[in-house]
Chains A and B, each alone.
Chain A
Amino acid sequence: MASKVKAICVAALLMLLAMPAAALLPIQHWQTKSGARVYFVESHDLPMLDVSIDFAAGSVFDTPEKSGVAGMTLGLMRLGAGGLSESEISRRMADTGAQLGNRFDSDRGGLSLRTLTSQAEMQQALDLFIRILQKPEFPAAVLEREKARATGAIKEADTKPQTLLSRNFSEMVYGSHPYGLRGSGEAATVATITRDDLTGFYRRYYSAQRAVVVVMGDITRDAAAALAEQLTTGLPQGAPLATLTPVASLTSAQTRVVAHPATQSHIMVGMPGIRRDDADYFPLYVGNYILGGGGFVSRITEEVRSKRGLAYSAYSYFMPMKERGPFAIGLQTRRDQATEALAVVRQTLADFLSGGPTADELSKAKQNIIGGFALRIDSNRKIVENLAMIGFYDLPLTYLDDFTVKVEKVTIEDIRRAFARHVDPARMVTVIVGGEETPAAPAAR
């Protein structure tokens, strides 16, 4: 680590990096007997423990016919397990004061627990957590009720412009790739879900070999190792981890206008972006900070909001996933300003692609990302999130230590090359919800 720190020549940055935060995060890593990967940080500052376990069991494993099974499986795990009913589980969990959480996205499905480390409370909370993980019962009556609730929520969501925006955007960006399926499923597909679908999904995808366990807090390495074994020994055999279908590139620009009575148009422009393991991750990350990721100081916010007052929120992001997650630019603006705002966004992107960032922009971006590095790991919660990400996406154990070095190495030319490779306005989709009568000009030049 010391040698890496020395590689950074800017004195001010060096001063910040020499702070103990990065160096004092000793991540311990091992595999359980059952093959689960474990990431552990011991910390005795607070008398509490965080545990999370994520599986390659996100909505990417859904099918169009049964869209929603992945999310419903995870949702029902805590609603009846190991001989306890849903109310017994929630009563016992509440009695300990522990907090049980779910994580669900296209790639991952998982559970987390935050508990006090006082013996009685921790034992009871972990006992429940393990039952939920290893012995979910998926009671049929609970499933019927949850299907009805989910259907109501989906129909409600579909009245909202922001949902219509993300749905149409995903459909157009991903076509038939399962990343285009939404995690909630559709009203029609949720209706067809059976108990067998859930037990089947659980058995296939909630296996130790597909699992990443994170433990952080006030316990010893030995206790963490024993806990990791306990968490994973009783899991199903499961399907082996296989590579996902790659995301196909778009071949042309497309624009879709969706009717909605809202006072604002919701606009999103984008395309498939990058995988989490893409070599261009850092140039794109730093470049996007300058383009639309850097809050008040990004170009998109400057042009759309600060200079013209067209929107409250305007942004761009890459969301790297196992396969290519989206690159998107989004904003909301009064309907009669939609064409103007869209033109501003397109021009801002075009300028960035042709000219790249300035030396000053790049240097300020690095100052922010590097200077603010300590903020990424200044609580147990944030550290657990980082470990879960490092584990699930198979990033090196030195990822956090290397982070600032990699950011520092990014050049203007790296950013230009990376954006030219991954961002192409001639192959982007544009969705306008609540737009004007005449569709805005298409993206192709």
Chain B
Amino acid sequence: MEQPLSMKLMRAVLCLFTLAATLVSPFVGAQAQTAEKTLANGLRVIVKEDHRAPTVVSMVWYKAGSIDEFNGSTGVAHVLEHMMFKGTRGVPSGEFSRLIAAAGGRENAFTSRDFTGYHQQLHKSSLELSFRLEADRMANLVISKEEFDKEIRVVMEERRLRTEDQPRGVLNEQLMAAVFTAHPYGRPVVGWMSDLQNMTHTDALDWYQRWYTPNNAMIVVAGDVAAAEVFALAEKYFGAIKQRAVPARKPQDEPAQVGIRRISVKAAAELPVLTMAWRAPVLRDVENETEPYALEMLAGVLDGSDAARLTGTLVREEKIANAVNAGYDNTQRGPALFMISGIPATGRTVEELERAIRRELAKIAADGVSEDELKRIKAQVIAGQVFERDSIYFQAMQIGSMEIGGYPHRSIEVMLKKLQAVTAAEVQAVAKKFLIDDSLTIAVLDPQPVEGRKPAPAIQGLRHGQ
């Protein structure tokens, strides 16, 4: 078949958060035969050899995501990502993509709260091309007003597509804004529309100059390569790039939440949505902490498979919900949330669903979880480790996101061991300790009929788009 959807995936922005994320995802694929080197200019290079097929995935990661942005210019990390395809002093606009395509490559880029990444999948013989082009745009990017004024319109279309016209996208955006009042995780990765409308090419240039330096970047290569050759190529192309001091990052810590928060969002939709988000600890000390691992297992007990409690009880047995998901991502630069989201069954209300979820949580707090449930989650983690090795792209993604989050990728091994060691009592304890109302924010999508709704006024008159 053709790939009709491939275009939709282009230049995908990693979502702010994914409700359907299962607990095992950050921990699988722990095959740590990697080689690592740091160039004199501070650029780190990590290589994962995998010789099953003559292909390679090449990624350049920058520790610069929306977490590093300031009010008034939200979305600039992602806008810069788009501008990285718009030419350098030596390579004209669009040429990067043309050269990669002509080499048989596939390419894309992603921006998240924590990082920006650029990647190509290629025949192994084209790795050098990838390095030559990436090194060039790491040092020599040109951001012209003309190209910026066109591309910022593309980014606004992207925001309309992914957020403005997606009721659940708006709900999630508003939820984050309600949870985080001080921390930058409260702001959308794509940026507020007003900030996009008022952004200038110099904002993008400032961002580039602040963060795009080898000592704030990392190369990850996985595939049919020899580590020594990759290091030599990296030295050849990136070695001469001068490093600059990276500005100090201030923590912007979120103050403790002291009471439940509730918001609602009206949008054209059929079904309501309920999302509950608790502030929860992020993993920092991989060796010595236990609670983040226990929360990870709790998410698995609730939603690690079709057999898990939320789907089993609320969807299948009691038919209160059409769907329920739980998620907890504890390896990232900023604070973590434990989230449960659901859609009430027809004729049921969000209030009933909320009560049912609370009852399920109370059951765990009172009675704990069974050894069988824990064993089931652990079995999936073990199998997941093997399955994920099928994809070199996944392996490179995992190494990069761990490292950018501040975790040595080799600590995945430790994390897996710690996860296997979680006890039922620990799961019960974290359910009691963290899933409490004082740190809870609840967001509800209040569906409105599509018919008869006036179109939202079109955004007119870009400041710089005339």
Q: Please list the residues of chain A having a beta carbon within 8 angstroms of any beta carbon in chain B.
A: 15-16, 19-21, 45-48, 86-87, 90-91, 93-99, 114-116, 121, 145, 148-149, 151-153, 155-156, 158-159, 161, 259-264, 285, 288, 292-297, 301-302, 305-315, 317-320, 328, 332-336, 364, 367-375, 377-381, 389, 434
**How far is it, in angstroms, between the C-alpha of A318 and the C-alpha of B3 when the chains are bound?**
8
B91 interfacial contact with A, CB 8 Å: no
How far, in whole Å, are A288 and B6 apart by their CA atoms in the complex? 13
Q: How far is the CB of B449 from chain A (nearest CB, A)?
A: 9
Residue of B nearest to A381 (CB): B390
The closest CB in chain A to the CB of B385 belongs to A97
Q: Taking CB as reference atom, which chain B residue is nearest A276?
A: B1
Is there an interface contact between B392 and A378, defined as CB atoms closer than 8 Å? yes
| Interface residues on chain B, number (Cβ under 8 Å) | 87
Contact status B104-A264, CB under 8 Å: no
Of the listed residues A293, A302, A434, the one surrounded by the most CB atoms of chain B closer than 10 A to its CB is A293
Does B251 count as interface, using CB distance less than 8 angstroms?
Answer: no
In the complex, the answer to whether A20 meets B54 with C-beta atoms within 8 Å is yes
Contact partners of B10 in chain A: CB under 8 A: 295-296, 313
Residue pair B104, A263 in contact (C-beta under 8 Å): no
Closest Cβ–Cβ distance, residue A382 to chain B (whole Å): 9
- Bound together, the chains give a CA A371 to CA B55 distance in angstroms of 11
* A19 and B123 in contact, given A91-B376, A373-B104, A374-B54 (Cβ under 8 angstroms): yes
Q: Which of the residues B102, B270, B316 comes within 8 Å of A364, measured between beta carbons?
A: B102
A152, B458: Cβ atoms closer than 8 Å: no
Binds A, one of B34-42, B152-160, B285-293, B396-404: B152-160
When chains A and B are docked, how far (Å) is the Cα of A328 from the Cα of B262? 43
Would A374 and B312 count as touching, CB distance under 8 A?
no
Q: In whole Å, how far is A26's beta carbon from the nearest beta carbon of chain B?
A: 15
- B387–A114 contact, CB under 8 A? yes
Q: Evaluate contact between A367 and B392: CB separation under 8 angstroms.
A: no
Q: CB within 8 Å of A: which of B433-466?
A: 447, 450-451, 453-456, 458-460, 465
Query: Can you identify 22 A-B contacts, CB atoms within 8 angstroms?
Result: A46-B386, A93-B305, A96-B383, A97-B381, A159-B270, A261-B454, A262-B160, A263-B160, A293-B2, A295-B101, A296-B85, A306-B93, A309-B151, A310-B157, A312-B11, A317-B7, A334-B458, A336-B458, A367-B101, A367-B104, A372-B104, A375-B121
Contact present for B165 and A262 (CB under 8 Å) = yes
- List chain B residues, Cβ under 8 A from A45: 52
Q: Are B55 and A307 in contact (CB under 8 A)?
A: no
The minimal Cβ–Cβ distance linking B439 to chain A, given in whole angstroms, is 30
Residues of B within 8 A of A98 (CB): 383
Encode contact with A along B121-156: 1 for CB under 8 Å, 0 otherwise.
Answer: 111011000000000000000000000011111111
B2-A374 in contact (CB<8A)? no
Residues of B within 8 A of A288 (CB): 2
Contact A309 B153 (CB under 8 A): yes
In angstroms, Cα B165 to Cα A95, docked, is 40
The residues of A that contact B458 with a CB separation of less than 8 Å are 263, 334-336
Inside 8 A of B383's CB, which chain A residues have their CB? Answer: 96-99, 115-116, 121
Choose among A20, A94, A313, A315 the residue that contacts B306 (Cβ–Cβ < 8 A): A94
Q: A261-B268, A296-B97 are in contact. Are A332 and B307 (CB under 8 A)?
A: no
Which residues of chain A come closer than 8 Å to B304, judged between CB atoms? 94
Closest to A307 in B: B150
**B197 contacts A by Cβ under 8 Å:** no
Q: CB distance A333 to B94 under 8 Å?
A: no
Q: How far is the CA of A296 from the CA of B376 in the complex (A)?
A: 44
If A296-B94, A364-B102 touch, whether A263 touches B456 (CB-CB below 8 Å) is yes
B377-413 residues at the A interface, CB under 8 angstroms: 379-384, 386-387, 389-392
A274 to chain B, nearest CB (A): 10
Establish whether residues B2 and A375, one from each chain, have CB atoms under 8 Å apart when the complex forms.
no
With A and B bound together, what is the CA distance between A367 and B150 in angstroms?
29
B123 A47 Cβ-Cβ under 8 A: no
* B230 contacts chain A at the CB level, 8 A cutoff: no
- Collect the chain B residues with CB atoms within 8 Å of residue A259's CB: 451
In the complex, what residues of B have CB within 8 A of residue A302's CB? 94
* The one of A115, A309, A319, A334 that contacts B150, using a Cβ cutoff of 8 Å: A309
A37 vs B387: C-alpha distance when bound (angstroms): 26
Cβ contact within 8 Å between B312 and A87: yes
* B123 x A16 contact (CB < 8 A): yes
Q: Does B265 contact A (CB under 8 A)?
A: no
> Is the CB–CB distance between A379 and B391 below 8 Å?
yes
A156-B270 contact, Cβ under 8 Å, with A91-B307, A285-B2, A309-B150? yes
Residue of B nearest to A25 (CB): B53
Q: Which among A15, A155, A285 is the interface contact of B271 at CB below 8 angstroms? A: A155
Residues from chain A with a CB closer than 8 A to the CB of B257 are none
A-B contact count (CB 8 A): 257
Q: Which B residue's beta carbon lies closest to that of A50? A: B390
Residues of B within 8 A of A (CB): 1-4, 6-8, 10-11, 52-55, 85, 93-94, 97-98, 101-107, 121-123, 125-126, 149-158, 160-161, 164-165, 268-271, 304-308, 312, 315-316, 319, 322-323, 343, 345-346, 375-376, 379-384, 386-387, 389-392, 447, 450-451, 453-456, 458-460, 465
B346: nearest residue on chain A (CB-CB)?
A152
Q: Judging by beta carbons under 8 Å apart, are A371 and B123 in contact? A: yes
- The minimal Cβ–Cβ distance linking A156 to chain B, given in whole angstroms, is 4
- Measured between C-beta atoms, what is the minimum distance from B101 to chain A in Å? 5
Q: Please give, as numbers and ranges, the residues of chain B lying within 8 Å of A368 by CB-CB distance.
A: 101-105
Q: Which residue of A lies closest to B149 (CB)?
A: A309
Complex CA–CA separation, A336 to B160 (angstroms): 13
Q: Residue on A with the closest CB to B455?
A: A261
A371 touches B103 (CB 8 A): yes
Distance from A308 Cβ to chain B, minimum over Cβ atoms (Å) = 7
Whose C-beta in chain B lies nearest to the C-beta of A334?
B458
Across-interface contacts of B316 in A (CB, < 8 A): 86-87, 145
By a CB distance below 8 angstroms, the chain A residues around B3 are 293, 317
Q: How far is the CA of A439 from the CA of B259 in the complex (A)?
A: 52
Q: B85's closest neighbor in chain A, by CB? A: A296
- Closest CB-CB distance, B162 to chain A, in whole Å? 8
Taking a contact as CB atoms under 8 Å apart, the answer to whether A309 and B2 are in contact is no
Asked whether B52 lies within 8 Å of A313 as measured between CB atoms, the reply is no
Residues of B within 8 A of A389 (CB): 1
A364 vs B101: C-alpha distance in the bound complex, in angstroms? 8
What's the least CB distance linking A294 to chain B, in Å? 6
A369 and B104 contacting across the interface, CB-CB below 8 Å: yes
The residues of B that contact A97 with a CB separation of less than 8 Å are: 379-384
For residue A407, give the distance in angstroms from its CB to the closest CB of chain B.
11
* B154→A152 contact, CB < 8 A: no
**Once the chains are docked, how many angstroms separate the CA of A158 from the CA of B121?**
37
Contacts of B94 in A (CB 8 A): 296-297, 302, 306
The answer to whether A15 and B125 touch (CB under 8 A), given A156-B271, A313-B10, is yes
Q: In the complex, what residues of A have CB within 8 A of residue B392's CB?
A: 378-379
B387/A317 in contact, CB under 8 A: no
- Sample of 12 more A-B contacts, CB < 8 Å, known A90-B305, A295-B10: A19-B54, A86-B316, A90-B312, A149-B323, A152-B322, A262-B164, A309-B151, A310-B153, A312-B11, A314-B7, A364-B101, A371-B103
Complex contact B157–A159 (CB within 8 A): no
Using A374-B55, A389-B1 as known contacts, say yes or no to A367 and B103 having CB atoms under 8 A apart: yes
The contact of A148 among B105, B345, B375, by CB within 8 Å, is B345
Q: Which residue of B lies closest to A156 (CB)?
A: B270
**A153, B322: Cβ atoms under 8 Å?**
yes
The 4 closest A-B pairs by CB, nearest first: A371-B104, A97-B383, A309-B153, A372-B104
Q: Which residues of A contact B305 (CB under 8 A)?
A: 90, 93-94
Between A288, A292, A309, A369, the greatest number of chain B beta carbons within 10 A of the residue's beta carbon is seen for: A309
Q: Which residue of A lies closest to B103 (CB)?
A: A371
* Docked-complex contact B161 and A332, CB < 8 angstroms: yes
Chain B positions within 8 Å of A20 at CB level: 54
Query: Contact between B456 and A261 (Cβ–Cβ < 8 Å)?
Result: yes
Max chain A CB contacts within 10 Å: which of B7, B104, B343, B456? Answer: B7
